[in-house]
Amino acid sequence: MSFPVDKIRSFFPSVSRPNAPIFFDNPAGSQVPQMVMDAFGAYFTTMNANQGGTFATSHKTDAMVRDARAKVADFLHAPNPDEIVFGANMTTLAFSLSRALAQTMKAGDEIILTRMDHDANVAPWLRIAEEHGFVVRWVDINPDDCTLDLNTLEGALNDRTKLVATVHCSNAVGTLNPIAQISQMAHAAGALCVVDAVQSAPHVPLDVQALGCDFLLCSAYKFFGPHVGILWGRYDLLEALPAYKVRPAKDYTPYRWETGTPNFEGIFAVGSAIDYIEKIGEEYCMEYSDQFSVFTNRAKSLKMGMEGIRQYEKMLISRLLDVLEATNGVQIFGITDRTRLDERCPTVVFTHNKHTPHEIAQHFAKHDIYVWDGNYYAVEIMARLGHTEHGMVRIGLAHYNTLAEIDRFADILHQL
């Protein structure tokens, strides 16, 4: 491929330093380019102040936050930058959203959850159901390929359904779900659709308008940025819902959702992470220009950059699947058909018939290859697949990983 992975790696100090480890732990948090690191220092040097003041550094902070919202809006193709809410992390924002939505529902109303989601898009809804007497129904998965069983969604929807919460990309098995179809099904029943896009944001172009959902949450530290959570919501809903806030705080969107003093240095770095993806699109991915001709300016460059990342990662995941399938004793969970790679992200889980996931992860760690074991908060799918006790080994690739790293992974795996 034309994707310049060697050049890309040079932007990441942790990846390009001598004797750097192999980072296959990316679903738990990506590595960060130098320009994002530099943003933190630049913020403290040039504009460190709170919002709303009469002086220069406060004005600069106000302008920076507006600019960061606009960049994230282009990243998500949101129609209005004021629909972008910053918070501590996705989980905190999900709990805030769940509490607000609970105030619009009554006992006996129903919420639909999936067996695939990270617990950050399960626990907030279970909590309000317990507190307010809502009914919870579940969407099952197809164990053979770990895709959502949309027949169970169809069966769960009824005139009492108020909310469908689903994941765009599984943080465990890597499945990409058909969100546009799920949103349409939810809306046909009169329900809202909340999407966890934490794991899809680093891997595929996002377009909230095409997805058709009502709310979407993600985390910048998964797409090469700092620890800042992001909530997108339809402006009319964000404006109408009873947000939990202190009394002096502004009572209009997005400020009514941003509790306390924001992490300004982090927000500035989020903008820099978006700049990084835009740079990839403009400098290395012009071949995708026609594919995104309906977008303009920065939004187009961001979509091209993410598409370049997506296509390169498809090559990586194909090689990783080759390695795992050629290894005796390994069982892969999720989509492995090479003609269906557009239906998944480059996150793969597996088990071995002689070694526990923790033993395997420890083995790789000794050789400076970083992988995860356990359930990674994907509690429901691990239970559904019968792996609650030990979980599975998770390999999560990113666009700065290489075929050579996968070959090294293969060598260490075969040492077992």
| Nearest residue to 90 via CA among 229, 220, 194, 200 | 229
Residues 6+ apart with CB under 8 A from 283: none
Average pLDDT of 87-112? 98
CB-count exposure of residue 389 (10 Å: 0-12, 13-18, 19+) = exposed
Q: From CA 64, how far away is CA 67, in angstroms rounded?
A: 5
At 117-131, the pLDDT tens digits run: 999 999 999 999 999
Q: From CA 28, how far away is CA 267, in angstroms rounded?
A: 20
The verdict on whether omega for the bond into residue 27 sits within 30 degrees of 0, i.e. cis, is: no
Q: What are phi and psi of 186, to 5 degrees?
A: -65, -45
State yes or no: pLDDT of 62 exceeds 80: yes
What's the gap between Cα 302 and its chain centre?
A: 16
Q: What crossing angle do the helices spanning 90-102 and 123-132 adopt, rounded to 10°?
A: 20
State yes or no: pLDDT of 272 exceeds 60: yes
pLDDT at 409: 98
At 288-328, the pLDDT tens digits run: 999 999 999 999 999 999 999 999 999 999 999 999 999 99
For the chain, what's the residue count?
A: 416
Q: From CA 364, how far away is CA 199, in angstroms rounded?
A: 23
Q: From CA 118, how far away is CA 222, in angstroms rounded?
A: 14
Q: Which tokens is 95 given?
A: 């709990």
pLDDT at 2: 83
At 388-399, the pLDDT tens digits run: 999 999 999 999
Amino acid present at 237: L
Mean of per-residue pLDDT scores for the chain: 97
pLDDT at 1: 56
Q: What percent of the chain clears pLDDT 70, i.e. is strictly above it? A: 100
